[in-house]
Amino acid sequence: MSERTTAALPPEPRTARAPGRFPFRIEIDPAGKESPWWMTIASVVLALLVCAVFIAANGKNPVEVYAKMLQGAFGSEFGFTETLVKAIPLLLCGLGVSIAYRISVWNIGAEGQFAAGAIAATAVTIYFPELPFYAAIPLMIAFAVVAGGVWGALTAIPKAFFQVNELITSLMLNYVALLALDYFVFGPWRDPKGFNFPGTPMFTEAQSLPTLGGTRLHFGLAIALAAVAVYALAIRYTRWGYELRLIGANPEAAKNAGIRLNRHILVVMIVSGALAGIAGMAEVSGVAHRLMYGISPGYGYTAIIVAWIAKLHPLGLIAASVLFGGLIVGGYSVQTLGLPSSISSMLQGAILFFLIAGNMLAKFRLRRNGR
């Protein structure tokens, strides 16, 4: 072809980007379900930084406040054992929530299941007051397991068979359980010798969990750690655990493989509720030694953050429970500096906010515009 003919041909279309066009685009990756491991650490750091602004706005030194919280929660034997005491219900409730989250069932009802377990365990002390220790404690645990499991099933049944949103039912059932607790402690179970205090009679020694030395750290810690060990083994080595992991990864593939999703929804919610019920039993038997108004400072709700920050991992659950137990105890410590103990709730909320934000950001991908 001659040079003249070539020059007469129209130019080929150019693929270079137009002037002013951004060379990258942002896409949402539906497969991006997990945020990177460092996002959890970044969320905690960002929460501390943001809360430091509010602490400084109140005229306090954030470094001094955080140092006081750390000292109060972990700087002494008393503080550390109190942190572990707070970690016990968080670990049990967080474990229950994690099992449900494995198959994307959002159990927001651990607070109500905790209350149901506490009520059922206290019923043993009310109606069977003369039982010896070796009979009273196992019966209290059994009652708590059944009550918490039934409360979980009340969410699972509508979800499995009528496609009712479990977020609504589990949340509403919290209020039912807490109002039932108030009825008993203000009504038929109120201690006549309690100077009008809304609580049941004090438990006897036979109805109380053993404690470690002169501390309030009780046998519930061993129960919680044993439950975590069983969870870790079951998820990794049993068929049930394999099916849970498969459902969590791809529900449609699991359904096509013959796995009955409704059955697993029922099972995980019953197990989840039973674990929260044990937490309620451990709290009334090992710490308060009675059922009383406000027995839970929100353990069931904090357990949601514990499960999220742990990414459902057994060791992560233990670490997150201790961390948030330390936040609760540390919140009490800063009262000596003139700040309310609710600062721990502010930190918990900030951590959850940044965790959710990080998880959402992990779904975004920056792509280079191709030809």
- Least confidently predicted of 82-86, 268-272, 356-360: 356-360
Torsion of CA 129, 135, 136, 142, to 10 degrees: -130
Output 209 or 4, whichever has higher pLDDT.
Answer: 209
List phi, psi (to 5°) of 360: -70, -40
Identify whether the C-beta of residue 110 lies closer than 8 Å to the C-beta of residue 138.
no
Going from N- to C-terminal start, the domains of the chain cover 34-49+77-363
Neighbours of 222 (CB within 10 A): 13
Burial per residue of 175-187, b for 16 or more beta-carbon CB atoms within 10 angstroms, e otherwise: eebbeebeebbee
Lowest model confidence (mean pLDDT) among 11-15, 62-66, 126-130, 335-339: 11-15
Query: Pick from 37, 99, 44: which is nearest to 307 by CA?
Result: 99
Determine the pLDDT at residue 359. Answer: 79
For residue range 211-243, what is the model confidence (pLDDT) as tens digits?
988 899 999 999 999 999 999 999 999 999 999
Tokens at 167, concatenated: 């977020």
Q: Would you identify the CATH topology of the domain 34-49+77-363?
A: ABC transporter involved in vitamin B12 uptake, BtuC (1.10.3470)
C-alpha span between 251 and 261 (Å, rounded)? 8
Global pTM value: 0.89
Report d(CA 368, CA 371) in Å as an integer: 10
Give the confidence band of 91 by pLDDT, cuts at 50, 70, 90. Answer: very high
Helix (H) or strand (E) holding 270: helix 261-283
pLDDT band at 196 (very low <50, low <70, confident <90, very high): confident
Sign of CA dihedral 152, 155, 161, 163: negative
Look over the chain and give the mean of its residue pLDDT values, rounded to a whole number: 89
Residue 252 has pLDDT above 70, yes or no: yes
**pLDDT for the residue numbered 14:** 47
- Of the listed ranges 132-136, 140-144, 231-235, 343-347, the least confidently predicted one is 343-347
Percentage of residues of the chain with pLDDT beyond 90: 73
Strands 364-368 and 24-28: what pairing? antiparallel
Please give the C-alpha separations between residue 181 and each of 120, 124, 146, 271, in angstroms, as whole numbers: 10, 15, 16, 22
How confident is the model over 190-212, as a mean pLDDT?
A: 93
pLDDT of residue 17 exceeding 80: no
Mean pLDDT check: name the lowest of 31-40, 219-228, 245-254, 278-287. 31-40
Alpha-carbon distance of 61 to 80, in angstroms, equals 24
Amino acid symbol at 137:
I
**pLDDT at residue 18, rounded to an integer:** 47
pLDDT of residue 263: 95
pLDDT band with cut points at 50, 70 and 90 for residue 2? very low
